[in-house]
A and B are shown apart, each in its own frame.
Chain A
Amino acid sequence: MTGGEDDVFAALADPTRWQLLNVLVSRGEGSASALAAELPVSRPAVVKHLNVLSRAGLVRWRRQGREVRYSVRPERLDATARWLSRIASEWDDRLAALKRLAES
């Protein structure tokens, strides 16, 4: 029934993670320290949240020298939006079937 969307929803349910994702979108890329400087949470907390986002496929990371730099994976968010659209369209189909039945 799901292709990991549940993990995405869980990852985004936390307001700090949502904020973190937004900061990452506007910066393009950033290290945990740089991101922590823009958020009201500590660096270790940012690392923890980045790991959750990464597990949900929302964030990727690469090593550059001694730093790990994070960036957003838009395709995962896009897939989730499309998944929600599909649920909405399934409801449209069911409601149309209900209408046909009621009016017959």
Chain B
Amino acid sequence: MVPDRIEREIDIEAPIDRVWSLVTQGEHLGTWFGDAGASVDLRVGGAVVLTWAKYGSYRGIVEKVERPRLFSVRWSRKPDMEPVPGSSTLVEFILTGDANRTRVKVVESGWRELNLSDDERSKAADENRNGWIQELDELQAYAQKVATPA
């Protein structure tokens, strides 16, 4: 099955509270994530706008805020549009650490539900619950297998 999530992480030599601020405040988010500013209404359901000079503004909605451990946003995949099912992915920032160092894990998920009809989407969600989630490696291995038939 096609992978539905990408996970990346990094270790940072900085206190978790500082990293939390950099991840959740628009003035910072607009420098390391976007490159032309950002705004964050830091509460569940709050609006997020992230701007790139080259690509335009992308809108998101805050799904979870659990200071200083979890911040998740549903992002539109198209500029200047609200994030709607079928045209958005979920980005989660998961922080662990202490007053000295922080590990940041980012999980982006939800491609499988892009461009699906409502019926297909709920069917896919059911399959997802039944354990269909696989990893990126599997698709790559699969693509290689197909590309080089025995």
Contacts and interface: CB of A to CB of B under 8 A. Distances in A.
A101 B111 CA distance: 30
B142 A10 contact: no
A7 B8 CA distance: 25
A9 B146 contact: no
A92 B1 contact: no
B124 interface: yes
Interface string B1-27: 111001011111110001100110000
Contact of A9 (B13, B18, B112): B112
B116 A10 contact: yes
Interface residues of B, number: 47
Main secondary structure of the interface of A (DSSP, over half): helix
Given A101-B31, A102-B18, A81 B114 contact: no
B28 interface: yes
A85 B147 CA distance: 17
A5 B13 CA distance: 37
A84 B18 contact: no
Contacts of B143: 74, 77-78, 80-81
Interface stretch (B36-44, B59-67, B132-140): B132-140
B147 A28 contact: no
Given A88-B136, A91-B8, A102-B19, A25 B146 contact: yes
A98 B140 contact: no
B6 A98 contact: no
Lowest 4 A-B CB distances belong to which pairs?
A74-B146, A102-B14, A10-B115, A12-B2
Interface of B: 1-3, 6, 8-14, 18-19, 22-23, 28, 31-33, 55, 77-78, 102, 104, 106, 108, 111-116, 120, 123-124, 127, 132, 136, 139-140, 142-147, 149
Given A6-B115, A12-B2, A74-B147, 4 more contacts: A13-B2, A95-B9, A98-B10, A98-B32
Interface of A: 1-2, 5-10, 12-15, 18, 25, 28, 72, 74-75, 77-78, 80-81, 84-85, 87-88, 91-92, 94-103
